[in-house]
Amino acid sequence: MLIDGHGRKVNYLRVSVTERCNFRCQYCMPEKPFSWVPKEKLLSFEDMFEFIKVGIDEGIEKVRLTGGEPLLRQGLDTFIKMISDYAPTLDLALTTNAFLLEESAQRLKDAGLKRVNISLDSLDAVVAHQIAQKDVLPKVLKGIAKADEVGLKIKINCVPMKDVNDDSLVEMLEFCKEKGYEIRFIEFMENSHANVKAGLTSADIQAIIRKKYDFKKGEREGNSPSQSYFLDDGYKFGIIEPHLDDFCSDCNRLRITAEGFLIPCLYFEDALSIADAIKAKDIKEASNILKKVLQNKPEKNKWGSEDNSDRAFYETGG
C-alpha cells in the first residue's frame, strides 16, 4: 500500500501521455505553447507500462490517461490493452477533449478502457470556439455520442468562466441530465499560462443553477475531488472545489508526465524523474523514487492563496 507523508493512502495514478494538444483552451494553454518536449525525451509506452506495473504492484487501483490530448498519441489503444491485460480489474479511464473520439472510441473500448471524462465547456459553437480557439463543437459532440454508443461510461468536465460560458451552465446541466452523464463543473485553477479574467467559484456556480433548480449537497464520495449535489429528481452533478480548505484532506493522487516526472500535487513544481531508472530496468530504484515523491507530497495546494501556479495543466494532465 502507498501512504504519503501525511498518512493519506495513494491509489490513483494520472498518466500524461503527451503534452501536445489540438486545442488551445484559454484556461489551460497560452496561444503559443512555450515548449514541447522533443519526441525522443518522451517515455515510450513500454517504459510507461513498466512504471505503471510498479505502481499497480505497490497499490495503485485507478489509472487515468490524460495529457495534453491523449488521443493525439499513436498507439494509445495498444497501451491501454497492455495495462488492461496486466490488471483487468483496474479502474482504467481516459480524459479527453473528444475531438478524435468518434474514430477511436470502439478501439479504446475493445482494448479495455472503461470510462471517459470529456471536456465540454459550452453547447454554443461560437463560445466553444472562443474557449478552445478552434471550431470544435460538432466533432466533440460526435465523439461523445460515439463513446456513449460503444458503452463507455461518460462524465463531462466544464470550467465555468465569468462572461465567457457562465450563461451556458444550466443548458450544459440539462444536456447531461437528459443523456444520463454526470457533469462536473471545475473551478478555474489560476496558473500563469491561462488567459482568463475570472473563473466562477463553487458559490457562483451554485447560484446560477439555483435560479432554475433546487438541489441539495451530498456527502463527499470517497476520495473523489468532486463535491456531489442532487437535484430534486435525484440527478447528480458535481463541483470540483480546489479553493476550499479541506479539498486536499483525502487526496489519493499522484501524477506522471510524458517525460517521466512524478508530480505529487497538481499545484506544485516539485518532481522527480523515474525515466533513467525505468530505462535501465531498475525497478527497485523506480519504486524508491515513487516512495520519495510520496513522502514529499504537500499537505495542501495553494489555490486559495494569492500565489499563482507555474505548473502548466497541459504538461501535467490537469
Coil, strand or helix at 212: coil
Min dist CB 242 to ligand SAM, Å, is: 8
188 binds, among ligand SF4, ligand SAM, none (CB under 5 to 8 A by kind): ligand SAM
82 binds, among ligand SAM, ligand SF4, none (CB under 5 to 8 A by kind): none
Q: Cα separation of 156 and 10, whole Å?
A: 24
- Residues 6 or more apart in contact with residue 233 via CB below 8 angstroms: none
Min dist CB 185 to ligand SF4, Å, is: 14
Which lies closer to ligand SF4 via its Cβ, residue 143 or residue 286?
Answer: 143
Which lies closer to ligand SAM via its Cβ, residue 21 or residue 128?
Answer: 21
Q: Which of 4, 5, 113 has the alpha carbon at shortest distance from 59?
A: 4
Tell me phi and psi for residue 199, to 5 degrees. Answer: -90, 165
Min dist CB 277 to ligand SAM, Å, is: 26
Of positions 16, 97, 117, 301, contacts ligand SF4 by CB under 6 A? 97
Number of helices (H) and strands (E) in the chain: give both, helices first.
Answer: 10, 12
**According to the binding rule CB under 6 A, does residue 18 interact with ligand SF4?**
no
Q: Cα separation of 173 and 239, whole Å?
A: 12
Of positions 55, 68, 70, 225, contacts ligand SF4 by CB under 6 A? 68
Interface residues with ligand SAM (CB under 6 A)?
21, 27-28, 66-67, 69, 95-97, 119, 157, 159, 186, 188-189, 191, 194, 313-314, 317-318
- Residues 6 or more apart in contact with residue 3 via CB below 8 angstroms: 9, 10, 294
Report the site for ligand SF4 in 113-132 (rule: CB under 6 A).
119
Which lies closer to ligand SAM via its Cβ, residue 27 or residue 215?
Answer: 27
Min dist CB 131 to ligand SAM, Å, is: 10
Q: Work out whether strand 12-18 and strand 62-67 pair parallel, antiparallel, or are unpaired.
A: parallel
Q: Work out whether strand 253-256 and strand 261-263 pair parallel, antiparallel, or are unpaired.
A: antiparallel
Is the CB of residue 208 less than 8 Å from the CB of residue 166?
yes
**According to the binding rule CB under 6 A, does residue 101 interact with ligand SF4?**
no
Cell of 288: 524508491
Which lies closer to ligand SAM via its Cβ, residue 267 or residue 289?
Answer: 267
**According to the binding rule CB under 6 A, does residue 157 interact with ligand SF4?**
no
Q: Cα separation of 220 and 207, whole Å?
A: 20
Min dist CB 317 to ligand SF4, Å, is: 8
- Kindly report the length of the chain: 318
87 binds, among ligand SF4, ligand SAM, none (CB under 5 to 8 A by kind): none
Q: Cα separation of 232 and 6, whole Å?
A: 38
Give me the residues that bind ligand SF4 (CB under 6 A), please.
21, 23-25, 28-29, 67-69, 97, 119, 313-314
